[in-house]
Structure 1
Amino acid sequence: MFTDIDECKYPETYTCNGKCHNTIGDYECKCSLGMHGDGKVGCQGFAIITIIAVIGAIVSLVIICLLLFMILSKRRKDKNFRENGGAVLKHQRVRIFSEAELTKATDNYDDDKKIGEGGFGSVYKGVLADNTVVAVKKSKGVDKAQMNEDFQHEICVVSQVNHKNVVKLLGLCLETKVPLLVYEFISNGTLFKHIHDKRSQVLASWSNRLRIASEAALALDYLHSLADPPVIHGDVKSVNILLDDNYTAKVADFGASVLISPGQTNILATKIQGTFGYLDPEYLMTGNLTEKSDVYSFGVVLVELLTGEKPNSNAKSGKKRNFIQYFNSALENNDLFGILDFQAADEAEMDEIEAVAELAKRCLNSIGVNRPSMKEVSEELAKLKALNQKSWAQQNSDETEHLLGESSQSFRNNASPPTSQSQTVISFEIENYTDSI
């Protein structure tokens, strides 16, 4: 008779370097957890300790890499901050944003947030942590040699510009290679869009066109006459005139602006900046940028407002002549009202339109000294706007009086002579009403 032996009870005879399990006629020996091999022969360690050590080393390496990245990133940001004039700008009345703040606000500069693009770079709509809506201007790049004291000084001045018709600089980020500028967000887009998108009704009336022109002129007059030091905008065009929630004009984009030192009348530019079609021909020929260069560009905007034409395209006449020639030719041939982009409401508006056209012609004089100053332009437009408003108010008053007169006459014609019966009825109604009280 076969008798099974429990080999697990005799480890001296039946070797097991792991967990022993008796079977009929034999036994099994499995290596302990963390070991591998044949338990009857010998088990080798799975190097759990080694694995733990390797994992620990990897985690440590990752942590070290992250720390190095953070240190290097901070050093880079600190270096950019210093080179971008942070030591000076942090004491100005302007908010300094972190790179992380603006990246989050613009969803990492998502293309869907892009609201403008040009040679300078791109503008993105962003929402800050406090729900303030902003416009973030991100430049494509710039020669670091240009990031000098002049740039720092310019930012200092622009940050202090405070005028209702100038887009306000809210702050900047100095942690990037090229500083990011943060402006107030202007909701209704550019004047250019409203002039050339025929679906827009903002400029359907002359009064709106005149008001917007007057507001933009007021901003440029402020930059030339009241800012300290004075500022030449350098790139006046309808794209750089924005309209806010109430369609109030605000001058924007000081990327080409320069500061005028006391006693200076012009700046000799090392390179021509601006937009074709709006550029002062005198500036193009000599390289001298003056306040009158802004006046010329503003004159182009006035013609654009009057005609609805784009300055860098042939006129709608179809003839090969440029924008300014087209306008001047219409004035010479007494055909101003044939090139307008809208209809004048009455003779008073026609007089105002003619006055603005003559003002635009003076602004477009090829010789800078013969052009009016922005102060003169602003004052003339302000007077015309006041006349327009007075005329509009008088017209409304006349219409009201006319309607009231017609109503009164109609009442007299329809009224019948009072009778004793009607008097009795009225008396009865009053008595009954008195009794009810």
Structure 2
Amino acid sequence: MRGLLKMKRLIELFVLFVLAPLCARCVNLPLNDDVLGLIVFKADVQDPKLKLATWNEDDDNPCNWTGVKCSPGSNRVVELNLNGFSLSGRLGRGLFQLEFLQRLSLAKNNLSGNINPNFSRVGNLQVIDLSGNNFSGTVPDEVFTQCGSLRVISLANNKFFGKIPDSLSFCGSLIAVNLSSNQFSGSLPSGIWSFSGLRSLDLSDNALVGEIPNVIENLYNLRTLNLSRNRFSGQIPDGIGNCLLLRSIDLSRNSFSGNLPQTMQRLVLCGNLILSRNLLEGDVPEWIGGMKSLETLDFSGNNFTGRIPSTMENLQYLKVLHLSSNGFTDSFPESVMKCQSLLAIDFSHNLITGNLPPTGSLAKLQFLNLSGNSFVGPIPETIGDLKSLSILDLSSNRLNETIPDAIGGAVSLIELKLDGNFLGGEIPSSIGHCSSLTNLFMSQNNLTGPIPAALAKLSYLQNVDLSFNNLNGTLPKQLSNLPNLHMFNISHNDFNSELPTGGFFNTIAPSSVAGNPSLCGSVVNKSCPSVLPKPIVLNPNSTSDSISSSLPPSNNHRRNRNILSISVLIAIGAAAFIIIGVISITILNFRVRSPTSSSSAAALALSIGDDFSHSSSPDANSGKLVVLSGELDFSTGAHALLNKDCELGRGGFGAVYHTVLRDGHSVAIKKLTVSSLVKSQEDFEREVRKFGIVRHQNLVALEGYYWTPSLQLLIYEFVSGGSLYRLLHEASDDYVLPWNERFDIILGTAKGLAHLHQSNTIHYNIKSSNILIDCNGQPKVGDYGLARLLPMLDRYVLSSKIQSALGYMAPEFACRTVKITEKCDVYGFGILIIEVVTGMRPVEYMEDDVAVLCDMVRVAVEEGKAEECIDSKLRGNFPVEEAVPVLKLGLICTSHVPSNRPDMREMVKILEMIKCPSELQEELG
């Protein structure tokens, strides 16, 4: 059938391009080649939204068709603009018929395939815009061999790779080049720097290398220069100062080094100067204040030192000032306070000292981050004058005194971070005026007093951390009414009340309330004292007259009965209430259990013994089996499920067994060996259901669980390929895990962890033995969420349960003052990357020493010997341009500072960017 369709297509093309012109000439009829070309183009693409419905092959010309413009004199097509038409398919030969075409724009579609080398023969093109599609492959050199009239070229946001063709140097008439967001590599064609008419050059988000030559001075018409997110190096050349018309410069996320060239002070028209995440050094020169057109100045993530220049006050148009993660010293420059157009200030992670400056003059300010410095003294009262401020981060400084009531004046606050200071006093109730507040972090201070009731009015609150303070008193019960809470950490304070009930507080993590000795409630496993009516105590020595004086008049017999009933009825009533409650709960449980679940639970219980012997079995009615997905057949007569011969392995949380159910379905069953630490049945089921609903192709799926007071089982899908640890360290000498499979394992694991974190689940126990490989070679992350089954998420308990993960554990496990977050998983993942790339265990025990893999690799990379760290078993069969960046990425993940580690979503994006071009070509071929 496919052959017939192909033959039909060839016949159509033959008729359109050969017979039709011949027949037209035979009968002397005019024939419009533009109609033919566009109809053939239409036949090669899919048009799901029928945007090309007006294209009719019976028309004399296409000048009234959607997206088509013709020359008024000749009625020939000069412009084809199909932006955002949702077209898919490939570019066929139809466009080659448009011999007068000048402007071609196919941006924001789903077109794919390679670029035809004869593309340059299309008309007399001045504008080519193929951005925002799925084009791939290399760009043939022939595309630019006839480009004398080309003015604008955009191939942005596609999947092109390889070298930018040298023939681009022939296109001397270009005024705009945009090749951003592809996978181009190598150096630039030298001719680009001689395009004197060039106004815009955007090569961002590729893998280009090399230096900017000083001949950039030839680009004296250049307005926009964007080379960000590449691998350019060397110094910024002096010649850039001759590009006097530059309005925007973005060289961020490269490896540029050295000082800023003095010639940059000539760029007085420049509005955006972004040099972040490079290796630039030295002082920021005073002449920076002469660039009076600046609106954005971003020098973050470099090695600048010294004072921030006082000439900043001249930048009256400045809106964004980012100088974070450098080595700036001295006090905060008051000159910055005179830049009254500022919207965002980020001076975080420097060495700035002294008091915070008064900020009332910055009426437009929306973002202020001064965290990670050494500021002292109070928070200024003028903070309340910042009515537009949405983000305020003063964390990790040495601020003291109290939080001013004026904080309530910053009514637009969404995030307030004051953690890691020495602030004292009470939390001001005025914070209730910040009605949009979503994130509130005040941990690790010296705060005292109760939580203000006004906090319960902030309905947008999602994350609150007040841990490690001296807060006390009772917790406002209205907190349970907050509808959006995800985290509320009050651990390590001195609260002395009952936890609120309802809403978020029914599932609050025990770690969030730990360290409050007087706190009570089910979460802390401590009952609250009951308030009961005082018993009536009768004096046995009193006379009947004295007794009768306190009771209604009656005979002695009636009087004795009343005395008895008062003391006894209370006990009888309480007992009756308890009995009725027990009966009700029993009936409800019986009704909830379906016949299938009951019989399955019975079969499962009868086939499992705690000591794996057939002689003893728990009561079938005491177990509860829950199936989370599909149906598991634990029908009567099933063989023993937990057989020592079927044991797959053991870890900190229990042993795992492989079994085949009666219906032929393979499962892996984990028998938890932490029964003394596991929560109550209610808490156990709640936590298991949470991570049981997490589903992803790179996560081992939980299919069900089984509970008795003495035995807990988790039922997982069976992953047949074994663990990554076995493939790396226990396979035969003849077996070598190929590089492309290693990369896929790293990327798939990253995707699984990213999904976990998106589902608010921390793994806590990343290691190669917990990464399983399925029959298709894809990784699946297992053992996630198990730490949540512990009644207290205590660091000591955690580290004792995952001690087999030695070498993967983030350093903050040993530091009680540092919060355990998803960044712990990122650290473990970084170690996993290094393990996969090097083929070595995270910790190697030798006769007289212990070798820590991460430290060894870090030293090698710093010495320029990264390539020597790649697993020797690969024998050079790996792409260096892919393996070395992946190895370095692993080191970045193992930073001792959690905030310096990327999150897992960023990791997925970075890994996809690193992916080797040669492998992409194979996949697309």
Give the TM-score range, shorter chain. 0.5 to 0.7
- Report the AA paired with residue 280 of structure 1: A
Q: Aligned residue for 2:910?
A: 380
Aligned partners of 1:295 and 1:372 also within 8 Å: yes
Counterpart in the other structure of 2:860: 330
Cα deviation, residue 162, structure 1: 1.2
Q: Which amino acid aligns with 1:154?
A: E
Secondary structure, aligned partner of 1:116: strand
Which of 756, 764, 781 is equivalent to 1:223? Answer: 756
| Residues 634 and 661 in structure 2, CA contact (< 8 A), matched pair in contact too | no
State the AA in 1 paired with 2:856. Y
The 2-side partners of 1:237 and 1:209 are apart by 15
Which one scores higher on RCO, CA 8 angstroms, separation ≥ 6? Answer: 1
State the one-letter code of the partner of 2:843. Answer: N
The CA deviation string for residues 8-54 of structure 1, in whole angstroms up to 9 with x for no partner, is xxxxxxxxxxxxxxxxxxxxxxxxxxxxxxxxxxxxxxxxxxxxxxx
Cα deviation for residue 335 of structure 1 reads 1.3
- For residues 702 and 728 of structure 2, the distance between their equivalents in structure 1, rounded to whole angstroms, comes to 26
The question of 1:104 aligning with 2:639 is answered yes
Partner of 1:19: none
Residue 345 of structure 1 is matched in structure 2 by 877
Aligned to 1:310: 841
TM-score norm. by structure 2 comes to 0.30
Moved more, 116-125 or 349-358: 116-125
CA deviation after TM superposition for structure 1 residue 323, in Å = 1.6
Please identify runs of 4+ aligned residues in structure 1 that moved more than 6 A.
none
Q: Does 2:647 match 1:114?
A: yes
- SS of 2:780 mapped into structure 1: strand
Q: How does 1:22-421 map to 2 (within 5 A)?
A: 76-81=619-624, 93=629, 104=639, 106=641, 109-143=642-676, 146-175=679-708, 177-199=710-732, 203-225=736-758, 227=759, 230-254=760-784, 256-258=786-788, 269=795, 271-273=797-799, 274=802, 275-286=805-816, 288-314=819-845, 321-341=851-871, 342-345=874-877, 349-385=879-915, 387=917, 389-392=919-922
CA distance in 2, matches of 1:301, 1:145: 28
Deviation string 1:126-180 (CA, Å, 9 cap, x unpaired) is 0101001111111234126623544322211222111111011111222462221
Preserved contact between residue 234 and residue 289 of structure 1 (Cα < 8 Å): no
- Of Structure 1 and Structure 2, the greater strand share is in 2
Against the structure 1 CA distance between its residues 74 and 309, is the aligned structure 2 distance closer, same or farther, given a 3 Å change threshold? Answer: closer
1:315 and 1:326 in contact (8 A); partners too: no
Q: Which runs of 5+ in 2 are unaligned?
A: 1-605, 607-615
* Cα separation, 1, equivalents of 2:618 and 2:734: 52
From the superposition, tell whether residues 390 and 75 of structure 1 become closer, same or farther in structure 2 (CA, over 3 Å): closer
Bigger drift between 333-342 and 143-152 goes to: 143-152
CA distance in structure 1 between the partners assigned to 2:620 and 2:734 by the alignment: 47
Displacement after TM superposition at 1:365 (Å): 0.1
Q: How far has the Cα of 1:345 moved from its partner? A: 3.5
Could you state the TM-score of these two structures normalised by the residue count of structure 1?
A: 0.62
Counterpart of 1:234, as a letter, is: Y
Residues 844 and 851 in structure 2, CA contact (< 8 A), matched pair in contact too: no
Flag the 1:121–1:321 CA change in 2: closer, same or farther, 3 A.
closer
Q: Which structure features the higher share of helix residues? A: 1
**CA root-mean-square deviation:** 3.2
**Is the alpha carbon distance of 1:319 and 1:391 closer, same or farther for their aligned partners in structure 2, counting shifts above 3 Å?**
farther
Gaps of 5+ in 1: 1-69, 260-266, 398-437
CA contact under 8 A between 1:217 and 1:377: conserved in structure 2?
A: yes
- Residue pair 1:268, 1:288 contacting (<8 A) in 2 also: no
| Structure 1 SS opposite 2:915 | helix
Question: 1:146 aligns to what SS in structure 2?
Answer: coil
Q: What's the CA shift string for 1:388-408, capped at 9, x where partnerless?
A: 5225458xx7xxxxxxxxxxx
- The CA distance in 1 between the partners of 2:648 and 2:618, in whole Å, is 32
Distance 1:75 1:189 in 2: 32
Aligned to 1:435: none
Could you tell me which amino acid in structure 2 is paired with residue 185 of structure 1?
F
Q: Displacement of 1:252 after TM fit?
A: 0.5
Residue identity in the other structure for 1:387? P
